[in-house]
Chains A and B, each alone.
Chain A
Amino acid sequence: MFEILKRQEMADGTVVMNEISAPLIAKKAQPGQFVILKANETGERIPLTMADTDPKKGTITIIYQVVGKSTNLFKSLQVGDHFQDVIGPLGKPTHLEKLGTVICVGGGTGVAVLHPITRGLKQIGNRVIAIIGARTKDLLILEDKMKVASNELHVCTDDGSYGHHGFVTDKLKEVLEKEDVKLVVGIGPVPMMKFVCKVTEEYGVKTLVSLNAIMVDGTGMCGCCRVSIGGKTQFACVDGPEFDGHQVDFNELMQRLDAYKTEEAIAMDKYSCECKAAG
Chain B
Amino acid sequence: MVEGKTKKEKMPRQPMPEQEAEIRRRNFKEVPFGYTRELALKEASRCLQCKNPSCVEGCPVSVDIPGFIKLITEGEFTKSIRKIWERNALPAVCGRVCPQEAQCEGNCILGKKDDPVAIGNLERFVADLEREKGTGELPPKAAPTGKKVAVVGSGPSGLTVAGDLILKGHDVTVFEAFHKPGGVLVYGIPEFRLPKEIVYSEVNFLERLGVKVECNNVVGRTVSLDELFEQGYDAIYLGVGAGLPRFLNIPGENLIGIYSANEYLTRSNLMKAYLFPEYDTPIVKGKNVAIFGAGNVAMDSARTAMRLGADKVRIIYRRSKEEMPARAAEIHHAEQEGIEFYLLTAPTRFLGDDKGRVTGMECIKMELGEPDDSGRRRPVPLEGSKFQLECDLAVIAVGAGANPLLTRSTDGLKLNKSGYIITDPATGKTSKKGVWAGGDIVTGSATVILAMGAGRMASDSIHNYLTLGW
Which residues on A are within 8 Å of B, measured CB to CB?
24-25, 28, 38, 42-45, 69-70, 73, 84-90, 216-217, 219-224, 226-228, 233, 238, 252, 255-256, 258-260, 263-264, 266-267, 270
| B345 smallest CB distance to A (angstroms) | 23
Taking a contact as CB atoms under 8 Å apart, the answer to whether A223 and B218 are in contact is: no
Taking a contact as CB atoms under 8 Å apart, the answer to whether A24 and B254 are in contact is: no
Taking a contact as CB atoms under 8 Å apart, the answer to whether B263 and A44 are in contact is: no
Q: Is B208 an interface residue (CB 8 A)?
A: no
A residues near B223, Cβ cutoff 8 Å: 24, 28
Taking a contact as CB atoms under 8 Å apart, the answer to whether A252 and B254 are in contact is: yes
Complex Cα–Cα for A260 and B405 (A): 28
Complex Cα–Cα for A270 and B277 (A): 8
Taking a contact as CB atoms under 8 Å apart, the answer to whether B405 and A219 are in contact is: yes
Q: Is B320 an interface residue (CB 8 A)?
A: no
| A191 smallest CB distance to B (angstroms) | 16
Complex Cα–Cα for A230 and B272 (A): 35
Closest to A69 in B: B280
Q: Is B222 an interface residue (CB 8 A)?
A: yes
Please report the total number of B residues contacting A with Cβ < 8 Å. 39
A residues near B280, Cβ cutoff 8 Å: 42-44, 69-70, 73, 267
A residues near B218, Cβ cutoff 8 Å: 87-88, 90, 219
Q: Is B179 an interface residue (CB 8 A)?
A: yes
Complex Cα–Cα for A24 and B224 (A): 11
Taking a contact as CB atoms under 8 Å apart, the answer to whether A223 and B356 are in contact is: no
Taking a contact as CB atoms under 8 Å apart, the answer to whether A233 and B179 are in contact is: no
Q: Is B267 an interface residue (CB 8 A)?
A: yes
Binary interface encoding of chain B residues 210-227 relative to chain A, with 1 for a CB under 8 A from any of its CBs, else 0: 000001111001110000
B residues 84-141 in Cβ contact with A at 8 Å: none
Partner of A222 from B245, B272, B276, B278 at Cβ < 8 Å: B245
Complex Cα–Cα for A227 and B405 (A): 18
Taking a contact as CB atoms under 8 Å apart, the answer to whether A216 and B267 are in contact is: yes
B residues 21-44 in Cβ contact with A at 8 Å: none
| B252 smallest CB distance to A (angstroms) | 11
Complex Cα–Cα for A200 and B253 (A): 29
| A185 smallest CB distance to B (angstroms) | 23
Is chain A's interface secondary structure helix, strand, loop, or mixed overall?
mixed
Partner of A216 from B253, B256, B271 at Cβ < 8 Å: B271
Which residues on B are within 8 Å of A, measured CB to CB?
177-179, 215-218, 221-223, 243-245, 247, 253-254, 256-257, 259-260, 262-263, 266-267, 271-272, 276-282, 284, 355-356, 403-405
Taking a contact as CB atoms under 8 Å apart, the answer to whether A264 and B282 are in contact is: yes
Complex Cα–Cα for A24 and B218 (A): 11
Q: A42-B278, A255-B355, A267-B277 are in contact. Are A219 and B266 (CB under 8 A)?
A: no
Taking a contact as CB atoms under 8 Å apart, the answer to whether A263 and B262 are in contact is: no
| A84 smallest CB distance to B (angstroms) | 7
Complex Cα–Cα for A216 and B404 (A): 17
Taking a contact as CB atoms under 8 Å apart, the answer to whether B216 and A266 are in contact is: no
19 further A-B contacts with Cβ under 8 Å, apart from A28-B223, A216-B271, A226-B254, are A25-B222, A85-B179, A86-B216, A88-B218, A90-B218, A216-B281, A219-B218, A221-B245, A221-B262, A223-B245, A224-B259, A224-B260, A227-B254, A228-B254, A238-B405, A255-B355, A259-B284, A266-B277, A267-B280
Q: Which 9 A-B pairs have the closest CB atoms?
A: A255-B356, A263-B282, A222-B263, A85-B179, A44-B280, A223-B260, A260-B282, A259-B256, A223-B245
Complex Cα–Cα for A88 and B259 (A): 24
Partner of B263 from A69, A224, A263 at Cβ < 8 Å: A224
Taking a contact as CB atoms under 8 Å apart, the answer to whether A217 and B178 are in contact is: yes
Closest to B408 in A: A238
Q: A216-B271, A238-B405 are in contact. Are A223 and B243 (CB under 8 A)?
A: no
Closest to A269 in B: B277
Complex Cα–Cα for A155 and B456 (A): 62
A residues near B271, Cβ cutoff 8 Å: 44-45, 216
Complex Cα–Cα for A84 and B276 (A): 19
